[in-house]
Amino acid sequence: VGDVGGITDPSYTGQVLVFAYPMVGNYGVPPLQHDQSQGLPLHFESERAHTSAIIVSDYCAYPSHWRSTRTLGQWLREEGVPGLYGVDTRAVISRIREKGSMLCKILIEGTAAQEDDIPMLNSNNKNL
């Protein structure tokens, strides 16, 4: 299940998912296939991405798995999910362990938008 399993897990709806393992994307993304007897997705937790974004330490742009039909980046783009890499996820996860789940927003340095211009969206306030 791996990368796409967490991203398609409905329990992560509206959340930013921070991956602990050092490299993400090396398996790529398999095709969406369904179990013939139950009609459930075989390699996904659901039929679409549920996370708001993902953050990884290192991203593999060239997957190496026989089931892969596209890269994780291609699939995230199709699903409308932003992904960040090159982040010290160990530090982020340490902070989450100390403080617990917290709200966040992703801002792109050098853009015209200021931190206060973009509202904080709290998925806990939404009827998911």
Rounded mean pLDDT, 64-76? 93
DSSP, residue by residue, 23-82: EESTT-B----B-TTT--BSSSSSSS---SEEE-SEE-SS---TT--B-HHHHHHHHT--
Burial of 15 (C-beta count, 10 Å sphere; 0-12/13-18/19+) = middle
**pLDDT for 31-48, tens place per residue?**
888 888 988 888 899 999
pTM exceeds cut of 0.95: no
Q: 73 vs 122, which has greater pLDDT? A: 73
**pLDDT for 14-30, tens place per residue?**
899 999 988 999 999 99
Q: What percent of the chain has pLDDT over 90?
A: 59
Q: Which residues make Cβ contacts (< 8 Å) with residue 8, sequence separation at least 6? A: 41, 44, 45, 46, 47, 48, 49, 50
Residue at token pair 């709290």:
122
User: What would the two tokens of residue 127 be?
Assistant: 């009827």
Instruction: Give the Cα separation of 125 and 64 in Å (integer).
Output: 40
